[in-house]
Amino acid sequence: MLPLNAENLSSLPAGPATPAYDRGTLRTGIVHFGVGGFHRAHQAMYLDRLMNDGKALDWAICGVGVMPADQRMRDVLTAQDGLYTLIVKAPDGTLDARVIGSIKEYLYAPDDPGAVIEKMASPDTKIVSLTVTEGGYNFNAVTGEFMAENPDVQHDLRPGNQPRTTFGLITAALQRRRERGVPPFTIMSCDNIQGNGDAARRSFVAFARLRDPRLATWMAEEVRFPNSMVDRITPVTTDDDRAAVRETYGIDDGWPVVCEPFTQWALEDSFGLGRPPYEDAGVQVVPDVEPYELMKLRLLNASHQGLCYFGWLAGYRLVHDVAQDPLFADFLLTYMRREATPTLEEVPGVDLAEYQLQLIERFSNAQVRDTVARLCAESSDRIPKWLLPVIRHNLDTGGEILRATAVVASWARYAEGVDEQGEPIDVVDQLKDTLVPIARRQRSEPLAFIENRDVFGDLVDSERFVAAYRKVLTSLHESGARATLEELAKS
């Protein structure tokens, strides 16, 4: 059993493909915040694909961790010289394994914030990319305003403090580049937010304005923030996955990544200091990302929310089991066809009817073993960005809202923290301490959950939305998730 690292790379057992390029010649051109499973299954994979073709060798990645939970990634990637095994699992059980080598180094910001800032300040760094989750942009989901009162933001704004947020670190690096006459790097968001580049621009410029208005003006004028749409189902790595890599390939990998075969990346071509030739690796480099991102957010991401709360309440724990249940598949397809698709414009090169069926097939991939719990996490970040826009659009146009509203009601029922058998639910959400007590009042106050205007805005003022919501929530309480879906299927 060989530990995965640079020294052992040439001695690994036959099986996984290994980098065909000399990693010693790589130069770092990208600093990436938020190195998790998705980044390693997606952006880092695309770069590795280019490098294996002899391209992008000066665009290697320096990963950066900011959160306490990132210490483990620091330890694993440092021990493994940035290497990890990517396992692509096809529905028929076929495995495609590759050792990815595009991450050249990793820095944990709390260890040495100055080193992270200087890395980005270096002229070699041309792109700073982000997968920091939907909540990592620190804006109010209803108003869109940057939340300056965030304690970590306030810490970073105090003179003399070492930055501990992504905003503080990146802004400090841009300030150094400006002072040194070095052109700014591009900030490339790869998170599931509509107009993610625009959202990043608003948040980073808003933070900079609080710190130094002149720097903010320079950033707004000079820094590029391309929009992008990213897609690949990547479940959390488990101990079983680690054991499978050891048993199947004879490799001791502390943090392999498993994912589905499907992958997509639509990227706006707006970069200040150049970029890798992403299109040569299959990326759709396009002038306008919005049709692709709305398709993905309102069909795939919103359908994940439609699947997870009802699924958990009905007793399912794995995503493929939910998607293979005809009742759930019909619910999701009907939502996509009758409520989500009417809110979308034509998507170049995509047949939306075929895409919807493909989503059900992807969700049904039993080999990936994605968990319902993963999809249920951080709902207060996800529902307002992925699902509520569908409801608002259809309220404005007279379209159907019943199934999208049912998803909101299923979230409210899930947020009570107790399932239909009386067992506790571990609600994972940054607003848990606010949402769970509100949800537990709703049997006597049925509108309590949606009266939270910080999450839902003025939706509670819509009689049509309230009527649909109350009807589904009552059914969930009185009849349960499955019976509620059976009744919805008649509508």
- What one-letter code names the amino acid at 30? I
Give the confidence band of 26 by pLDDT, cuts at 50, 70, 90: very high
> What are the distances in angstroms from CA 52 to CA 45, 49, 56, 278?
11, 5, 9, 13
Average the pLDDT over 324-333 and give the result: 98
Q: What tokens were used for 327?
A: 């009742």
Q: How far apart are CA 140 and CA 133, in angstroms?
A: 14
Mean predicted lDDT score pLDDT of the chain: 97
Domains annotated on the chain, with CATH? 2-286 (3.40.50.720), 290-488 (1.10.1040.10)
SS3 label, residue 491? coil
pLDDT by residue (tens digit) across 124-172?
999 999 999 888 999 987 888 999 999 999 999 999 999 999 999 999 9
Could you tell me if 270 and 226 are in contact, meaning their C-beta atoms sit under 8 angstroms apart?
yes
**Would you say 138 and 150 are in contact if contact means Cβ atoms under 8 Å apart?**
yes
**C-beta of residue 246 within 8 angstroms of C-beta of residue 3:** no
For residue 13, the model assigns a pLDDT of 87
Cα gap 160→77, rounded to integer Å:
31
The DSSP string of 293-347 is HHHIIIIIIHHHHHHHHHHHHTT--BHHHHHTSHHHHHHHHHHIIIIIGGG----
Parallel/antiparallel/unpaired status of strands 60-65 and 103-108: parallel
Distance CA 196, CA 453 (A): 23
pLDDT at site 144: 87
DSSP 267: E
pTM of the model: 0.91
What are the C-alpha distances in Å from 448 to residues 6, 7, 266, 310? Answer: 56, 59, 39, 20
Residue-level pLDDT at 48: 98
Q: For 265, phi and psi rounded to 5 degrees?
A: -150, 115
